[in-house]
Amino acid sequence: MGSNIIILRVALIIFDLFNDIGFVILLEDDLQYLYVPSVIFLLIPFILNILLAFIIFSHEIQYPEFNKWLKKYLKPVAIITFFSSGDVELLHIFDSKFGGFQIFEASFSPLALNLIFWSGFLNLILEDLPQLVIQIIYARNFTNSYKIIAFFTLITSIVMTLIGIIEYGYHLFINKNIEKEEIEFYDETDEIKISYDESKM
């Protein structure tokens, strides 16, 4: 089930990437004052995501098992790395164990997993939200020239943004609960220790 979800997420990321590019290229003449911010919030995350993907892989190749895996699947990894310009979380396809294929059985280190996660959060802030705002402004102010590519881009942006907000919201909620449980555990441990010391006296 989990692997199927990641494939759906991958499809959404790639679809969103193509829509974002199409939005800027095909609607260049219609965007007017929205064109420059559209390009900025497309290119900056694009470059940043590629760099982050390279940083992650550069870190992971120090591990022999991952290095061996990377050498074996270098070409498809390069292709996915390019598409991860839309969202670094696309790299999770490699540890999704989809279909039992070895290419999808990579083992990322905890540091890499954290980088992927927080890179996705950064992508939400620098790409998804700004682009959604731009597309909403375009939809409201350019109704006479509104085109189907703009509609699809708006829908995918809404979906991606909502998924991101829900995902990171859950993450923060889970972490908060874990921290609370750890504090309660240590408090209980201290109480037991104090009780034990008092009983010895």
Diameter of the chain by CA atoms?
85
- With a cut of 60, say whether residue 192 has pLDDT above it: no
Cα(29)–Cα(89) distance, integer angstroms: 32
Task: Please compute the mean of the pLDDT values over residues 22-47 and round it to a whole number.
Answer: 91
Q: Measure Cα distances from 152 to 18, 30, 141, 148 in Å.
A: 10, 16, 17, 6
Give the pLDDT confidence score for residue 186 in this predicted structure.
47
- With a cut of 90, say whether residue 8 has pLDDT above it: no
Of 59-63, 109-113, 151-155, 183-187, the range with the lowest mean pLDDT is 183-187
Digit-coded pLDDT (tens) for 44-62: 999 999 999 999 999 999 9
- With a cut of 60, say whether residue 34 has pLDDT above it: yes
- With a cut of 90, say whether residue 99 has pLDDT above it: no
Cα(104)–Cα(93) distance, integer angstroms: 6
Give the pLDDT confidence score for residue 187 in this predicted structure.
47
Which of residues 19 and 9 earns the better pLDDT score? 19
Q: Where are the domains of the chain?
A: 2-168
Give the pLDDT confidence score for residue 201 in this predicted structure.
53
Give the pLDDT confidence score for residue 141 in this predicted structure.
84
> What is the SS3 assignment for 70?
helix
CB 49 within 8 A of CB 84: yes
Give the pLDDT confidence score for residue 182 in this predicted structure.
47
Give the pLDDT confidence score for residue 5 in this predicted structure.
75
